[in-house]
Amino acid sequence: MKLALLGYGRMGKAIENIALKRGHEIVCKVDENLIEGKLQEADVAINFSIPDAAVENISNALDQAVPVVCGTTGWLDAYQLVAQKTQENNTAFLYASNFSVGVNLFFKLNKVLAQMMQPHKEYKVSMEETHHLHKLDAPSGTAITLAEGIIENSNITHWKLDEEAKDSVSIQSFRVGEVPGTHSIKYGSPIDDITIEHKAHNRKGFALGAVIAAEWILGKKGIFKMDDVLNF
């Protein structure tokens, strides 16, 4: 499969390494000061650019009917525009806030726990997420997905960043060193705490998941999620 890498930072290089090992070819690389190869030659484009470049990168690929797998967060106010372009160009688009198989299992665990905790009003839910200093958006897309999973399965109505409020999930975001990503959810009561946590040891899980998603989307048309790839 011929791949375009839209964003060639840490994640782009990690994806390249795994893609080459799986027998794929990189035919295009695009970054802030880099345009290498031709986007239209790609079978699938994988976008891990900075948030400000995401919509332009995705649109350029979709306008050339190149399917896009996107892991960049912090641009979702333009999601409907991207969905419309996907349909207009009869191609495919897949967005995930996190491509790690382990994190997607964690998403499911989070929803089940939220359902279990719903009758127990004495517990207050909160969340912490920690990433490397280079991550520009806060809270992380993964944290937002986790919060949405809690909201869908409880009486919680919204999330708040660094702020506690009634019927909300309080999310605290930390940016420290080169931490790949840690997310923890706590249900606290005066008697005890219940905590679940996912801790990434490196970027390989994210990169592998993105390549697997690109392999899966080849030849498909429409809007997809990581749940579709993993058959959850």
Among 24, 29, 85, 135, the active-site one is 135
- The answer to whether residue 220 is catalytic is no
Whole-angstrom distance between the N-terminal and C-terminal Cα of the chain? Answer: 25
**Among the options 24, 85, 131, 198, which is catalytic?**
131
* 120 is a catalytic site residue: no
- Give the integer Cα–Cα distance in Å for 175 and 130: 6
Q: How far apart are CA 65 and CA 187, in angstroms?
A: 45
As given in the structure block, the two tokens for residue 54 are 């995401």
CA dihedral 29, 35, 39, 41 (to 10 degrees): -80
How are strands ordered across the β-sheet holding 25-31? 34-37, 25-31, 2-6, 44-47, 68-70, 92-95, 222-224
Catalytic residues: 131, 135
